[in-house]
Structure 1
Amino acid sequence: MSTTPPVSTTALLSAEALKVAFPGRRGAATARAVDGVDLDIRPGEIVALVGESGCGKTTLARSLLGLVPPTSGRVTFGGAPLDYTGRALKAYRKRVQLVLQDPSGSLNPRHTVYDAVAEGLRIHRYAGDERAAVSEALSRAGLRPPERFFLRFPHELSGGQRQRVVIAGALVLEPELIVADEPVASLDASVRGEILALLLRLRDELGLSALVVTHDLGLAWNIADRVAVMYLGRIVETGPVEQLLTAPQHPYTRALLSVLPEAQGEPVVLAGEPPDPSKVPSGCRFHVRCQVLASGEAERAGVAESCRTVDLPVLNGAGEAQVACHWAAARAGESGGGSADAPLT
């Protein structure tokens, strides 16, 4: 788990009331992929965005990168709204870089490691010493001595080395923030820890901020300062990593945590698949799969009807512990604000 505190309380990157909707084909309903999100990422902070496939986390990440313009709301960087003109986006993407899940798909098999890392410099017409910049980026990514890798092709590298090349390609432009989409999902378990340690070292040495998109709460525990749990287009729980993962409030977060090896008790098996983003349920958007509602606990707490009919507010992006759940709010009221029991030791 990350322990170094953020160097600033002022947000570097923010989403404000962000919504991204995609029109349905042939008259089908609009899919609300991101349906009202506030999220701040501070300088030197690693935020993990967690949720099942289809919950909207990749669309949110792409919108933060300027790849998908929002339907409403806005993205700000350094306090200024994101400008979607071509020149402004080019300058923005020098400061905010993307690291994709599959390094094999990210690297051109016909390009050497040197060319892969130097590509960003050439796109942005770097005026300095290209060879020195590529060498430094490879060294920072853990490929030493860097000259030994210059003329290698992706197929000559291991999976971990390819991911380090992708990270070096992002670092060469000296960004302030990276967005890493499932950065270790395609790697062997023995290599995952090395890449996560690398990201933490880059944060500590360079003050680099990161948004790590993942379905794995175990990964979040090992790398993040803060976690935002996303379900059906909205963040349903957020807070400091240790507080959220040891005392989760939302039934969805509890279900995700229940399948980790450290979890006590039986895993929570959620009914069905995540609902269609073009058919968001009324009330709490999780209620159709909620184990607390199904078990009668919400009924006993007097909130079952609210779960089915009363929408919940968008959580603010400031970073304190928050949850969008009628049942959790009722429990907190009964206990005078205390947290729910933790499923982990």
Structure 2
Amino acid sequence: MTTTPQAPLLSAQGLHVAFPARHGGAPARAVDGVDLDIRPGEVVALVGESGCGKTTLARSLLGLVAPTEGRVTFDGEPLRYSSRALKAYRRRVQLVLQDPSGSLNPRHTVYDAVAEGLRIHRGAGDERAAVAQALSRAGLRPPERFFLRYPHELSGGQRQRVVIAGALVLEPELLVADEPVASLDASVRGEILALLLRLRTELGLAALVVTHDLGLAWNIADRVAVMYLGRIVETGDAEKVLTAPQHPYTQALLSVLPEAPGDPVVLSGEPPDPSRIPTGCRFRARCQILASGEAERAGVAHRCRTEDLEVLGGGGEAQVACHWARALDPAL
């Protein structure tokens, strides 16, 4: 008996976000055609170098940046951009930022920081009990011990837990975590990642984790989407993508991890300017496969230089936007 795939909780369809250039130049295509689904209870890692568009994509999924083309749907309904609609949406989808020091007002106690969302959304019920429950779920126990403390009295890991508690207090269905452990000591990172996984197990929370760290993606994600120059270039089950990457960009990112076999692949130059996306494959100017002649031997070098690749589908199947990888494996 076949099971019907679960309908996505959050979905981006044909999403584009462009920012106008100064002095009348070409607009910067920060997100240049993205389909992405996140199912209930699923953790998706969005990975890539700085400047690849992943934070802009996350902000667009949150309704903080309106797309110039395409749409975002949540629970089957298109996202609307009126103040009232966005306020209702943000009860259900919460953002966790990478820098807890910047996320917390130094003049507010932990209690006030966590209660802020309830007050904005006029949450009904017992505020004190809701704050205590959120702090406890975030691993700050007994919660009452933290009520009257200020951010400067906490460790970095405790501050990040307060930020997570501030998101949890509204009982959302999805967290968008932007580099959630980037500013933390290595000794604390594992604790926060374990917390996020426990929240998924206990509360059924879905999460989009934005990161440049493939090691983090390996530890936390069910599925990985690799982004380069405004598009997802490889996606699929986390274990499959991270143990057998098909796209040369993914291979290069993984090659620099300490446990990776072989020599690291050093990519030349920086990602191209998003206002001047090259013809053909957008990775071709830095591609080690094209530079080494392997693409020529596979008979796809001309296509790499001239033929754009279509937007990958947003579902969970393994996909790659690479002429060379598809020549080696036509099933991709």
- Bucket of the pairwise TM-score, normalised by the shorter protein: over 0.9
In structure 1, C-alpha distance between the alignment counterparts of 2:271 and 2:148, rounded to whole Å: 45
In structure 2, C-alpha distance between the alignment counterparts of 1:9 and 1:214, rounded to whole Å: 25
Q: Following TM superposition, where does structure 1 have runs of at least 4 consecutive aligned residues deviating by more than 2 angstroms? A: none
In structure 1, C-alpha distance between the alignment counterparts of 2:76 and 2:231, rounded to whole Å: 23
Shift of 1:191: 0.2
In structure 1, C-alpha distance between the alignment counterparts of 2:210 and 2:131, rounded to whole Å: 26
Q: Indicate yes or no: 2:277 matched with 1:280.
A: yes
SS at match of 2:329: helix
Match of 1:125 in 2: 122
In structure 2, C-alpha distance between the alignment counterparts of 1:206 and 1:149, rounded to whole Å: 23
Match of 1:260 in 2: 257
Q: Indicate yes or no: 2:228 matched with 1:269.
A: no
Alignment match of 1:183 (pick from 177, 180, 185): 180
Q: What are the ranges of 5 or more consecutive residues in structure 1 without an aligned counterpart?
A: 1-6, 340-345
TM-score of the superposed pair, with normalisation by structure 2: 0.98
Q: Indicate yes or no: 2:10 matched with 1:13.
A: yes
Match of 2:247 in 1: 250
Sequence identity (%): 84
Shift of 1:8: 6.3
Alignment match of 2:98 (pick from 92, 98, 101): 101
Match of 1:89 in 2: 86
Contact 1:250–1:323 under 8 Å retained in 2: yes
Letter in 2 for 1:118: A
Letter in 2 for 1:278: S
SS at match of 2:32: strand
Q: Indicate yes or no: 2:164 matched with 1:141.
A: no
In structure 1, C-alpha distance between the alignment counterparts of 2:113 and 2:261, rounded to whole Å: 45
Q: How many residues align?
A: 329
In structure 1, C-alpha distance between the alignment counterparts of 2:63 and 2:243, rounded to whole Å: 34
Q: What are the ranges of 5 or more consecutive residues in structure 2 without an aligned counterpart?
A: none
Matches within 5 A, 1:157-196: 157-196=154-193
Contact 1:8–1:42 under 8 Å retained in 2: no
Match of 1:217 in 2: 214
In structure 2, C-alpha distance between the alignment counterparts of 1:62 and 1:74, rounded to whole Å: 13
SS at match of 2:172: coil
Match of 1:239 in 2: 236
Query: Residues 248-289 of structure 1, C-alpha deviation per residue, up to 9 Å, x if partnerless?
Result: 000000000000111011100001001000000000000000
Shift of 1:222: 0.1
Q: Once superposed, what is the RMSD of the aligned Cα atoms?
A: 1.0
In structure 2, C-alpha distance between the alignment counterparts of 1:289 and 1:118, rounded to whole Å: 48
Matches within 5 A, 1:8-47: 9-47=6-44
In structure 1, C-alpha distance between the alignment counterparts of 2:301 and 2:39, rounded to whole Å: 37
Contact 1:284–1:307 under 8 Å retained in 2: yes
In structure 1, C-alpha distance between the alignment counterparts of 2:6 and 2:246, rounded to whole Å: 25
In structure 1, C-alpha distance between the alignment counterparts of 2:141 and 2:217, rounded to whole Å: 28
Alignment match of 2:112 (pick from 98, 112, 115): 115
In structure 2, C-alpha distance between the alignment counterparts of 1:162 and 1:320, rounded to whole Å: 37
Match of 2:53 in 1: 56
TM-score of the superposed pair, with normalisation by structure 1: 0.94
Query: Residues 104-134 of structure 1, C-alpha deviation per residue, up to 9 Å, x if partnerless?
Result: 0000000000000000000001121000000
In structure 2, C-alpha distance between the alignment counterparts of 1:22 and 1:46, rounded to whole Å: 29
Match of 1:152 in 2: 149
Contact 1:120–1:169 under 8 Å retained in 2: yes
